[in-house]
Structure 1
Amino acid sequence: MSPADARLDDLHRRARALQPRTVALRRAVHRHPEIGLHLPGTQDAVLGALADLPVRIHLGREVSSVVAVLDGARPGPTVLLRADMDALPLHEDTGVEFTSTVDGAMHACGHDAHVAMLASAARLLAESREDLAGRVLLMFQPGEEGFHGARHMIDEGLLGPGGPAGMPEAAYALHVSATLPSGEVHTRPGPIMAAADTVTVTVTGRGGHASAPHDAVDPVPAAAAMVGALQTMLTRRVDAHQAAVLTIARITAGTTNNVIPESAEMEGTLRTMAEPVRRLLHDEIQRVCRHTALAHGCEADVRISSGYPVTANDRQAAAQVTDLAGRLLGSRRAVEMPDPIMGAEDFSYVLREVPGALAFLGACPPGVDLATAPSNHSNRVVFDESAMPTGVALYAGLALEALAAS
Structure 2
Amino acid sequence: MLPINHFKDYEEFMITTRRDIHMNPEPGFQEFRTSKLIKDYLIKWGYDVIDGIGTTGMVASIHGKKPGKTIGLRADIDALKMQEENDVPYKSLNDGLMHSCGHDTHTSMLLGAAKYFSDHNEDFNGTIKLIFQSAEEGPMPGGGIYVVEGGHIDDCDGVFGLHITTRDKRGDIIIKKGEAMAAPDEFQITVKGTGTHASAPHTGKDPIIAATAIIQAIQTILSRQISPLESAVISVCTIHGGSAFNIIPDDVTFTGTIRTLNNDVRMDIFQKLEATATSIASSYGCRADVKIIEAYPPLINDPKMSDFVMNIAKEVVGEDHALWASEPSMGGEDFSYYLQKKPGSYFWLGGRDPKQETIYYNHNPKFDVDESSFVIGMAMHVNIAFEFLK
Q: Same fold per TM (> 0.5)?
A: yes
For residues 258-285 of structure 1, what are the alpha-carbon distances to aligned partners after superposition, in whole Å with 9 as ceiling and x for unaligned?
0000111110100000011001101100
1:316 is matched with 304
Within 5 Å, give how 1:154-193 maps onto structure 2.
154-160=148-154, 167-193=155-181
Q: 1:200 aligns with which of 184, 188, 201?
A: 188
2:383 is matched with 397
For residues 12-61 of structure 1, what are the alpha-carbon distances to aligned partners after superposition, in whole Å with 9 as ceiling and x for unaligned?
22322211011011001011011111311101211233343232111125
Answer yes or no: is the 8 Å Cα contact 1:14–1:124 preserved in 2. Answer: no
Q: Secondary structure at the match of 1:279?
A: helix
Q: Secondary structure at the match of 2:347?
A: strand
Within 5 Å, give how 1:219-298 maps onto structure 2.
219-298=207-286
For residues 335-371 of structure 1, what are the alpha-carbon distances to aligned partners after superposition, in whole Å with 9 as ceiling and x for unaligned?
10011010100111111101001101010134212xx
In 2, distance between residues paired with 1:62 and 1:277?
A: 29
1:306 is matched with 294
1:159 positional shift: 2.5
For residues 165-206 of structure 1, what are the alpha-carbon distances to aligned partners after superposition, in whole Å with 9 as ceiling and x for unaligned?
xx1010000100011111211111101110111111111111
Which TM-score applies when normalising by structure 1? 0.93
TM-align CA RMSD:
1.2
Answer yes or no: is the 8 Å Cα contact 1:159–1:168 preserved in 2. Answer: yes
Residue 330 in structure 1 maps to residue 318 in structure 2? yes
Q: 1:384 aligns with which of 366, 370, 385?
A: 370
Answer yes or no: is the 8 Å Cα contact 1:125–1:400 preserved in 2. Answer: no
Unaligned runs of 5+ in 1: 1-6, 161-166
Answer yes or no: is the 8 Å Cα contact 1:179–1:362 preserved in 2. Answer: yes
Residue 120 in structure 1 maps to residue 112 in structure 2? yes
Within 5 Å, give how 1:4-43 maps onto structure 2.
7-9=1-3, 12-43=4-35
1:84 is matched with 76
For residues 276-331 of structure 1, what are the alpha-carbon distances to aligned partners after superposition, in whole Å with 9 as ceiling and x for unaligned?
10011011001111111112121111111111100110001111111111111110
1:128 positional shift: 2.9
Which residue identity lines up with residue 78 of structure 1 in the other structure? T
Which TM-score applies when normalising by structure 2? 0.97
Q: Which runs of 4+ in 1 moved over 4 A?
A: none
Within 5 Å, give how 1:337-376 maps onto structure 2.
337-369=325-357, 372-376=358-362
Unaligned runs of 5+ in 2: none
Answer yes or no: is the 8 Å Cα contact 1:243–1:273 preserved in 2. Answer: yes
Structure 1 residues 23 and 249: alpha-carbon distance in aligned structure 2, compared to 1, 3 A threshold: same
In 2, distance between residues paired with 1:150 and 1:87?
A: 15
In 2, distance between residues paired with 1:189 and 1:157?
A: 26
1:392 positional shift: 0.3
Answer yes or no: is the 8 Å Cα contact 1:63–1:152 preserved in 2. Answer: no
Which residue identity lines up with residue 250 of structure 2 in the other structure? E
Q: Secondary structure at the match of 1:21?
A: helix
In 2, distance between residues paired with 1:301 and 1:62?
A: 31
- Greater shift, 50-59 or 224-233, is seen at 50-59
Answer yes or no: is the 8 Å Cα contact 1:60–1:156 preserved in 2. Answer: no
In 1, distance between residues paired with 2:44 and 2:186?
A: 43
> Between the two proteins, what is the percent identity of the paired residues?
34
In 2, distance between residues paired with 1:293 and 1:38?
A: 39
1:49 is matched with 41
Q: Secondary structure at the match of 1:133?
A: coil
1:156 positional shift: 3.1
1:62 positional shift: 5.2
